[in-house]
Structure 1
Amino acid sequence: MQQTMRWYGPQDGVSLEEIRQAGASGVVTALHEIPVGEVWSEEAIRERLGIVHNAGLEWTVIESLPVHEDIKRRQGNYKLYIENYKKSLKHIAACGLEVVTYNFMPVLDWVRTDTFFVNDDGTRTLRFEREAFMYFDLFLLRRPGAEDDYSQEEKEQAAAYGDSLTSDEQQALFRTVLLGLPGSKESFTPEKVLGLLKQYEGIDDEKLRENLYYFLGEVAPLAEELGLKLAIHPDDPPFSVLGLPRIVCSEKDIARILDAVPVNANGLCYCTGSLGANPDNDLPAILERHGDRIHFLHLRSVAKEKEGVFREAEHLSGDAPMSTIVYKVLLLMNKRGHALPMRPDHGALFTLEQNREHFSGYSLIGRLKGLAEIRGLEQGLVYAFDNVPM
């Protein structure tokens, strides 16, 4: 596997030097400073490429080229934003990059209710708890219509959960759920979120799915022509939040998306954490059945504590059968004849870094540990099964 780490650009608290010293051969990054919907110029892409190359690293995978909300809703200036997306793809291809990761999650990119959950060993990790989220939705955000999405029992559970929190804990929950886009240091405001939610009124799963197919019908053939791979990231978490539609939660969802626009450029970012939070997903089976359309790997594990509660676990523990997954990745790469880019997605926060600036889930030591474990697992499997080449 091509072993990479995510880097958020010059504003990242983790440096390229540290990423190289961790053992990664490259980074996955993006031009986070460019507003969503605007065109990425060749000049800006090449400037970032130069910074990465001067640090002795490679950059072949973009994570992410965001999709504007107008495109997801297929309203407003969606045609303009699709044309801008196409222009960006042309510039990206001209600069020699290979994979473009994106997602189609409305409003919120990913959601957790705790970004500092304390593990038994004292490290801290990301966690989602349904009762906490229900309390946020019903009593902190006070989303119009939220009461209709929950049973009476659930509303009582949410109220009881809120009663157990101090005022500071309530505010911490509020800030955590409203974290901004990855790479951004600005959080969403309640007013902005409620305004965006209102724009999605009348858009259910089927409508959002149709909008995704329309978008892919416009951009995937161009990507194929340019030699680029598009990799859609699964929804995180893989179920509806804030009453919003979700359409990349299961293997059935994935199959529908890949079948809708049957060109190889229309592919998947195989995230074992996001997909693994859905107990119905068989992670090795998804690899086996859709391996030809997997263009990027996010390897991490989650521990599902009970229904509606999961936390991010160590890369080789939790519920993801990582040994089986990596072995099947090796078989897939052997079949395809080339290595796939991989990053050890997220990582625990160690005591040494608790006072250091970082993006949630992206401190250095936890990801270094995950990278070392995945590399060791890969090397061990290659040694044990000499019929599986590097």
Structure 2
Amino acid sequence: MGATVTGPAWPARSPVGKDPTTPLWRAAVLLRVLTLLFAAGVVLVYLDEYARPWLALATIGAMAAWTAAIAVRYLRPAGRLLGFAVLDLAVNCALMCTSRLVLTPEQLAVDTVPLVTTVWVTGVVAAGAVCAGPAVGAVFGAVVAAFNYGVRGYVDTDLTRDLMLLVGVGFVLGLAAATSRRSAARLETALRAEAAIAERERLARSIHDGVLQVLARVRQRGAELDGDAAELARLAGEQEIALRALMATGQVSTQDGTADLAGRLRLLASGRTEVSVPATPVPLPTAVTAELESVVREALANVERHAGSEAKAWVLLEDLGGEIVVSVRDDGVGIAPSRLAEAEREGRMGIARSIRGRVADLGGTIELETAPGAGVEWELRVPREVAR
């Protein structure tokens, strides 16, 4: 009947923790290399026609050195910083400006002769987008296009087409990077939840085969006796109920800052308290869940202290979509109409502060129905929008 509960079987570390945009960074660096080779070929083709051929070659050398620098920086997870991407943008714009000294005025006046940097500058747009998302990618594209206008010295349809392409590419790549990060975060949360559920189920099987069977045996045997044995049987029964509720409860907190109120309240079940909650989770911000749980605990504590030794309590949770309703009812001796006011005058502020104060802080309302001999019922209503 006994069982040995071993330590948790931790799952192997998942690769989800890596940066999901790593393939995009590699593609951005590869784009720099390929466009550098293209720019070098263009310079060799037009070298004899340039006003300052030596400056064109020096610009290609600077582009090659900077490509090597950004490759080292961007291929390291710790090096993908927005500040370095802004520096990258500044270097690209500065190298674009050298074309005004390299190209002749006639070459600048026509779009058929590319700037020395040519399409190499599109790589910085990709870097900004992958680094900081669609908005930054679009801004980087607009800045590069603006320098393209400035170096050429005029505006036409072809340059405007380049503007639309640069902004569009920056936005789309940034959107892809942001989506990849969100998807990876959700997958990691799901994998952690799955591992936690699997571990809880493994422990639940061990507990069921050992602890629960012992408690059930103590409860059954003790109930047949009187005196202290009967009291031990009652306590064992309460612990058995609480342990079964704990085993049946799913994950009560998540990685997104919410907690399952239904799971938290389900743990309050005991021999004298029945808890009814929806079968599906009721996620609320962790702070709100903790406050509502505290209110219910305080109400149940009042049942223990004042309702009578034989009183039972019932907790009901309802998710109505627009609001959360929690009811706590008991069949105890009830409260006289003037008793609460007398307690406040005497300085005992438990109900006023612990229950009403907490609900008021959450933007909710609370109603009390009671009468001598008719028990007590609290009804808490918290708007979901306020809770969120």
TM over 0.5: no
Q: How does the TM-score come out when normalised to structure 2?
A: 0.22
* Structure whose alpha-carbon radius of gyration is higher: 2
Q: Which has the higher contact order (CA 8 A, sep 6+)?
A: 1
